[in-house]
Amino acid sequence: MSHQNPAKRNLAAMTDAWTAMTQTFLQSATAANRAAMSAMLPASGSNGSDGETVPASIPSIDHSNLDWQFDRTVDDPARISVGDTVTFEKVLSDDDVRAFAHVSGDTNRLHLDDEFAADTRFGERIVHGTLVSGLISAALARLPGLTIYLSQDLEFSGPVGIGDRVSARVEIVEDLGNSQYRLETVIRNEDEDATVINGEAVVLIDDLPEE
């Protein structure tokens, strides 16, 4: 994707417009992230839109992709503590966007129609905000143990273009007791070197079932 679009050069103005348009997001986070993850997970044995499907390297996930990257600071669920982080990173491709539109039913032309999007304030198609935020779910899934979403609070501050590489970073900021944790959640557009989503999540971390 070209990054010479005038709308991208004027990122500050676009960010202000985006913020005014979205402000806060606090609804149906679990259902929305399920849809986002469905768009990111190809059928077993198939290749994803952005690389080859490969076996999982950790027991909490079913499979991975050669283009996906993740890093975490803790491997043992019993040792999870404040300050631990997980980062997940991938390209959000046109195939991802079209798959998400089909799965979620959000067929807004801003995400799917180049000519239509060219005449909007963004000047080009952008990725669904909920698909972008779904990378938080991908990061949480890579915490040790079985992570269960309890709540999510998000604020959008900028768009993500089709084909941009995006990272989600989650950091445990409070141990709430009873295996529940509050986390800071941040998504960055790595191609634009900009934070596009800030928020907080609360999760429950169970032991993985014995196999």
- Percent of the chain at pLDDT > 90 equals 73
Q: CA-CA distance, 19 to 22, in Å (whole number)? A: 5
Task: Write out pLDDT tens, residues 43-52.
Answer: 433 334 457 8
CATH (residue range 69-206): 3.10.129.10
Q: Computed from CA positions of residues 119, 125, 130, 132, in that sequence, does the dihedral angle turn out positive or negative?
A: negative
Per-residue pLDDT band for 27 (boundaries 50, 70, 90) equals very low
Tokens of 74: 């803790």
Position 41 pLDDT exceeds 90 = no
Provide the 10 A C-beta neighbour count for residue 80.
19
Provide the 10 A C-beta neighbour count for residue 113.
13
CA distances from residue 129 to 136, 184, 199 in whole angstroms, order as listed: 12, 18, 13
CA distances from residue 16 to 4, 84, 93 in whole angstroms, order as listed: 20, 32, 25
Q: What pTM does this model have?
A: 0.77
* pLDDT in the model for residue 13: 54
Tokens of 69: 């990257």
Counting every residue written for the chain, the total comes to: 211
Give the three-class secondary structure for 129. Answer: helix
Amino acid at 100: F
Per-residue pLDDT band for 36 (boundaries 50, 70, 90) equals low
| Mean pLDDT of the residues in the chain | 85
Which one, of 192, 184, 135, lies nearest residue 158 by Cα?
192
Task: Write out pLDDT tens, residues 69-123.
Answer: 999 999 999 999 999 999 999 999 999 999 999 999 999 999 999 999 999 999 9
Q: Is 60 exposed, middle or buried (0-12, 13-18, 19+ CB in 10 A)?
A: middle
The residue ranges of DSSP E strands in the chain, in sequence order, are 53-55, 63-65, 69-72, 85-91, 146-156, 165-177, 180-189, 194-206
Tokens of 102: 């089909």
Task: Write out pLDDT tens, residues 151-174.
Answer: 999 999 999 999 999 999 999 999
